[in-house]
Structure 1
Amino acid sequence: MAKRRRLTKAIVVDTAAQMADAAGRVDAVTLTALAAALGVRVPSLYNHVASLDDLHHALTVESVRRLNGVFRDASMGKTGVDALLAMAHAYRRFAHAHPGIYALTVRGPEPDDEELGALVRDLLQTVLLVMASVGLHGDDALHAMRGFRSILHGFCSLETVEGFRLALDADESFRRLVATFMAGLGSGAGGSTQAGQA
């Protein structure tokens, strides 16, 4: 008889993420379905997650952690527009590869959520460093980062719901969108102040 692998929180969360991506939505993951996928009973899950809400929080943390890694890897060794372009394409690939957990990366953390808050700050810092390499700092960098995030999320969200039905190359549309944004960087810049939350 095959030996059952030892269950850990990492295995629980990773399996839940795979289930969410396969279904295309997080609410498809229930404790009953997750336990069945892991070959255990639901009570066994409570050794690792306190509730379904706790599982969803763990999934959110893992999703943001993965996106952090994607951005760091994409921008490594690059600066300026090259780094932003690499990050844009990496973001889109992440959204395509993870249609379930991607949505969890969008909403900001609650003020008392230190774990998620730290991850989000790390992600913002990665983008701000790249913005600095194109000459944007303080509020100018934050406004640019919001715009960058908005065009990426908007495009990827429309793709997710099959919002582009015309027989037109979506890759080319994305390339032009990002290129237009980058061409306008700095054109609306005003007085910069100390960077805060985006």
Structure 2
Amino acid sequence: MARAGLTTERLAQAGAELADEVGFDQVTVSALARRFDVQVASLYSHVKSSADLKARIAVVALQELAELGAEALAGRARRDALIALANVYRDYAHEHPGRYAAARFNPASASADFLAAGGRHAEMTRAILRGYDLGEPAQTDAIRLLGSVFHGYVSLELAGSFSHSKPDSSESWPRILDALDTLLSDWTSS
């Protein structure tokens, strides 16, 4: 029987909080059971395994990011939209490093919720690119480029890779976004 008050959603949210505290890689069903001061077995009526828990945390993170992205993009186009979405990812990563790592998680078996949440991110990026009037295959190439730059930069920044040199990474970020805007504005479909 399920313990009163414990639900799959509550465990996923608590797992997301735990990921921010200890790192996504350290989140397990056992660690979550300790957080709730319950036996591990009592959580298995809600989650199948640590991998299932991580996939559910990934959905939480992807949904949160999608909501923030949608708010940031409202009424914006082209450069303004590009910068807004990029800053959502960067700010979220700094505020919620464990959840941000969860958003990059690739489960062995993706649930419908996971696919829907991930799909929202692709659609937000496509919405930005419509302002640049990119057709296929340029649009897919541009989505991959933006994802690589946004997530690559943020991952390196979080790892401290830019801390050894000047200027500060916060000064380079807007320059990189300006360069992306210029590239997208001049992109030719070939």
- TM-score, L = length of structure 1: 0.85
Name the residue aligned to 2:177.
Answer: 178
Q: Offset at 1:101?
A: 2.4
Higher helix proportion (structure 1 or 2): 2
| Letter matched to residue 184 of structure 1 | L
| Letter matched to residue 169 of structure 1 | D
Aligned residues: 187
| Letter matched to residue 166 of structure 1 | S
| Letter matched to residue 148 of structure 2 | S
Measure, in 1, the Cα distance between the counterparts of 2:35 and 2:73: 36
SS at match of 2:101: helix
Structure 2 unaligned blocks of 5 or more? none
Query: Is residue 41 of structure 1 aligned with residue 39 of structure 2?
Result: yes
User: % of aligned pairs identical?
Assistant: 30
Name the residue aligned to 1:76.
Answer: 74
Question: 1:102-140 CA deviation, whole Å, 9 max, x = no partner?
Answer: 123235566864332222222211210121022223322
Q: Offset at 1:5?
A: 6.8
SS at match of 1:138: coil
Measure, in 2, the Cα distance between the counterparts of 1:189 and 1:120: 28
Q: Offset at 1:45?
A: 0.8
| Letter matched to residue 182 of structure 1 | D
* CA gap 1:116/1:8 in 2 versus in 1, 3 angstroms: same
Structure 1 unaligned blocks of 5 or more? 192-198
Measure, in 1, the Cα distance between the counterparts of 2:39 and 2:187: 56
- TM-score, L = length of structure 2: 0.88
Question: 1:44-91 CA deviation, whole Å, 9 max, x = no partner?
Answer: 211210111111111122221122112111101211211111111111
